[in-house]
Amino acid sequence: MNPTPQMRKVYQGVADRRQMCRLFDRHAQRPIRGEDDPTSLYAGEWFEIHQAEHDYMLDILPPLWMRLDMFAMREFLAGSVTSVFFSVMIDGRMHFFHGYCDLSNKASPDRMRAAILERESRPVKAMTHEERLEHIWSETNDDYRGYAGARWPKQHRGKRTVLFYGGRQGTSLVLLDGLTDAQISAKLPVHLRYLPDAIAA
């Protein structure tokens, strides 16, 4: 059985169909794709979608299994990881989510649903440092994000990178995890820049 993955929100806001399809494979450019086990990259990732996208995915194929508040896709992304779609009542309104669950752990869908409910039920909208970085990665076009290669010091190779426009300093390739608070603020959309910090669960 794979280690229990950390549940993590990877996109702030509600994804439309185009965004949803991009978010399905946020790690498409990873090195040695096809030769690695991407289970740990995807398992635990989740984001909110519209009901139209939820219903669209339900109609594509008969689900692997279905419950009142969730269903799993029949096609697996990698190993035992597949898409699970959730309907969750929050503050009297139904919300819809997509998450990657590792079904080798039968409790994974329920754990993800609980994590979503806990995260989205917070009275004040906020973002953790990790959520800010994941949103930047999710929103950055493939042409402007990638992975550190042979030109980087050995300890950084394979880590995620993004292009950063530094004004007079020009554009530079920086490690996603190495972005300063000012750089993070500059790369976030305006409506997300001033959200309070949230303490990671």
**Strand pairing category for 93-102 and 45-49:** antiparallel
State the CB neighbour count (10 A cutoff) for residue 66: 12
Q: Which of 23-32, 107-116, 144-153 has the lowest mean pLDDT?
A: 23-32
3-class state of residue 48 by DSSP:
strand
Condensed to tens digits (0 to 9), the pLDDT of residues 18-67 reads 999 999 988 878 776 656 667 788 899 999 999 999 999 999 989 999 99
| Cα–Cα distance, 11 to 188 (Å, whole number) | 11
Q: What is the pTM of this model?
A: 0.85
